[in-house]
Structure 1
């Protein structure tokens, strides 16, 4: 029988210093924010936009302290590794990708000083590469970190996130189960919920997320769990429940950006467009994520306010350029945007590149839609089938396949998918849901 590798003495010393930061930063950079329902997405995040509403920013204060410590002792791998993790976390919280090059620089310096037992810096590199959508590299670093410290639950979260985004779903499920076994709590139960949701098991997914909420030890964790409960309700067509969950989360953390965003989507579904526009704008001001900008643009467009929509689309393009300039691989979001609002050829190029680096369900769907907009529907149908192969309940995926089937002249199949899309969520997108309804009436 092969003995399980135990952490070294130095690993335990590192654990005492960086465990809290590691858990926070790696969970923030995890795959939940890259899920098909958060447009991550991948990745992956847990507390983005959930800094304190008032007072000093504790993460910024920690960064300043660690910077001073690293200047006084530039050969301190723990300080450098923890600083790198904090940079990754700050990038997620602020949606500022310029922190990624800073994180890479200090994490590599940390690993130069200690490349053997430095699981914190290895985990930091895993989080960084996943945050930049370089999932193969993220997986390699996560494996190295787990080999050094196989009893750190958070590291199995990074492993699961990378496996998920690489389309290795069984291995991801095994890593999630290991994480739950080691430390059942909000981070591990949330990932278990996501694994069930990917397979279309929404009952188990909601149960696991309710358990994550019950395990929440802080207002930020409560807001995180409430956000995903709200999103699951919205994605399954229950806008009233989605609004309730979002409002309950906002009582825990007022002005929380993800909760404002999902609240806005529920409000739009319920015809409360003025409130939806206000909340989406607030979410974007709090956390300027491209997905929020795009959702606001599409809501404006659905209301006939094309000038405001075009302004948001210009901002989206600028943000994509900023992310790319700081090492983030553009993938399904950028491809779908170009397919719907821009250059169809560029959409296809982005989608093909995305599939190479991130062979996840989202990438298959984006490739399918990009192929469709370029008139390549036979190949599009193959990709669309792959996007739905796990049984995921995703209205947008079914809408895309329905429109592809319609273009191929497969009338019955088109009707089935379009009906399924609207059955799952009749308000899945302010632009595409009406098109699905129109296509069914015309067919």
Structure 2
């Protein structure tokens, strides 16, 4: 099932048995620290000296500063406008500040107004923008337009693959990843190939491809990215010790790479080092208040009985969701699961149903299943749970949710099997839900 490096003059084939799926967290949370794709041939937009930031500044912020200075001199440079739009999209992801999305939209539209027919950089930027906003049908439309203009740009196929994936069109996503690897077998394409394997249950191949991505890293940011996802592969399959090693190794390479700090905290919590986990996770939230980190910190506090501190984090999470929606981001699985677990089940169901319209991905099917269960609609919930697991992904949370639904429907044997599966995949999958899974499984075994 592996996607392999392309040998000279030969095509690399995906196995016909792979129903390829790609992880949204990987590519919509600012994953690869690379320019999304070359904006234009070398020499089209010369380096900018005026307004250049000091040496050692954040590369993305530095590029934004240079482009802004360039556009003060030549405001009708459509390539610079498109590239600035791409940078704004990446900055929104990297900083968890969705206010960059309207900025991105404005400059990308200016670029398209100046050059409409073959402006693949701006088209790709619009695809990335709509993906960041979880508007995946629009993302797909823009990605197709960009690929039609420039069918030899590997990164555009990555954007195309991401949109197909989140729309639940997994075979088309796999084809796009295959084309991306054929064109340029480097870190971005190999990372996506890793997810083709992981989310179809082939963890060995997923690790192999992510190791290849690490070997092909173009710099510290790319290496940190690969270490982060190697750690995630380990943690999601019950090995927090390896995740901790990957996080610590990555942090020696890129100390400022916040996802590795979050991963380190996750591993520490699973290993019982809760004080260290709280310290590192708090630092991660202070650096970049990603909603995922805020929610993780809240649930860790709650698992320790520190409910007031947990409530404070949940309040921050809710405020962030409002900020995201006000900047055009569609809510889906994370918000639905949060409401089902910590808030309003009715709102959870409304968010999940709407989320499935814009993002019919496996995570959204699982969130809808859980929201339906929270509202007592377990027959429909079981169907949605089946959709979440249909690709063969190894996901402990999905199996835990399915077990609770099956138990509510009176199918004790199936519930016992799914609880066993959840805990065998990852016995540390949630500081709040893992103890509940053990309690439920013990009770079910007692009635067998």
Q: Is the 8 A contact 2:228 2:250 kept in 1?
A: yes
Give the secondary structure class of the aligned counterpart of 2:427: coil
Give the secondary structure class of the aligned counterpart of 2:255: coil
What does the per-residue CA deviation read over 1:176-227, in whole Å, with 9 as the maximum and x for residues that have no partner?
0111111111100000001111101111111110111111120111100000
d(CA) in 2 for partners of 1:236, 1:41: 17
Which residue of structure 2 aligns with residue 330 of structure 1?
331
Which residue of structure 1 aligns with residue 192 of structure 2?
191
After superposition, residues 234-245 of structure 1 pair within 5 angstroms as 234-245=235-246
Which residue of structure 2 aligns with residue 301 of structure 1?
302
What does the per-residue CA deviation read over 1:14-59, in whole Å, with 9 as the maximum and x for residues that have no partner?
xxxxxxxxxxxxxxxxx97x53xxxx2762521479xx9x942332
Which residue of structure 1 aligns with residue 250 of structure 2?
249
1:152 is aligned to 2:153: yes
Which residue of structure 2 aligns with residue 99 of structure 1?
100
d(CA) in 1 for partners of 2:93, 2:240: 27
After superposition, residues 258-297 of structure 1 pair within 5 angstroms as 258-297=259-298
d(CA) in 2 for partners of 1:134, 1:41: 17
Which residue of 28, 45, 51 maps to 1:43? Answer: 28
Offset of residue 263 of structure 1: 1.2
Unmatched 5+ stretches in structure 1: 1-30
d(CA) in 2 for partners of 1:406, 1:42: 35
1:180 is aligned to 2:181: yes
**RMSD across aligned positions (CA):** 1.6
Give the secondary structure class of the aligned counterpart of 1:267: helix
Give the secondary structure class of the aligned counterpart of 1:66: helix
Give the secondary structure class of the aligned counterpart of 1:268: helix
Offset of residue 441 of structure 1: 1.1
Offset of residue 314 of structure 1: 0.2
Offset of residue 72 of structure 1: 2.9
Q: Is the 8 A contact 1:223 1:252 kept in 2?
A: yes
1:131 is aligned to 2:126: no
Q: Is the 8 A contact 2:373 2:381 kept in 1?
A: yes
d(CA) in 1 for partners of 2:318, 2:215: 39
Aligned positions, number? 405
Q: Is the 8 A contact 2:131 2:163 kept in 1?
A: yes
Instruction: Give TM-score, length-normalised by structure 2.
Output: 0.88
Which residue of structure 2 aligns with residue 4 of structure 1?
none
What does the per-residue CA deviation read over 1:281-327, in whole Å, with 9 as the maximum and x for residues that have no partner?
11111211000000000000000000110000000000111111001
After superposition, residues 29-428 of structure 1 pair within 5 angstroms as 35=24, 40=25, 43=28, 45-47=30-32, 55-428=56-429
d(CA) in 1 for partners of 2:404, 2:27: 25
Quickly say closer, same or farther: Cα 1:163–1:44, change in 2 above 3 A: farther
What does the per-residue CA deviation read over 1:242-264, in whole Å, with 9 as the maximum and x for residues that have no partner?
11111111111114211111111
Q: Is the 8 A contact 1:48 1:94 kept in 2?
A: no
d(CA) in 2 for partners of 1:47, 1:190: 9
Give the secondary structure class of the aligned counterpart of 2:28: coil
Q: Is the 8 A contact 1:165 1:360 kept in 2?
A: yes
Unmatched 5+ stretches in structure 2: 1-20, 35-52
Q: Is the 8 A contact 1:48 1:92 kept in 2?
A: no
d(CA) in 2 for partners of 1:324, 1:48: 26
Quickly say closer, same or farther: Cα 1:97–1:313, change in 2 above 3 A: same
d(CA) in 1 for partners of 2:433, 2:383: 21
Q: Is the 8 A contact 2:158 2:189 kept in 1?
A: yes
Please identify, of 238-247 and 401-410, the stretch whose mean Cα deviation from structure 2 is larger: 238-247
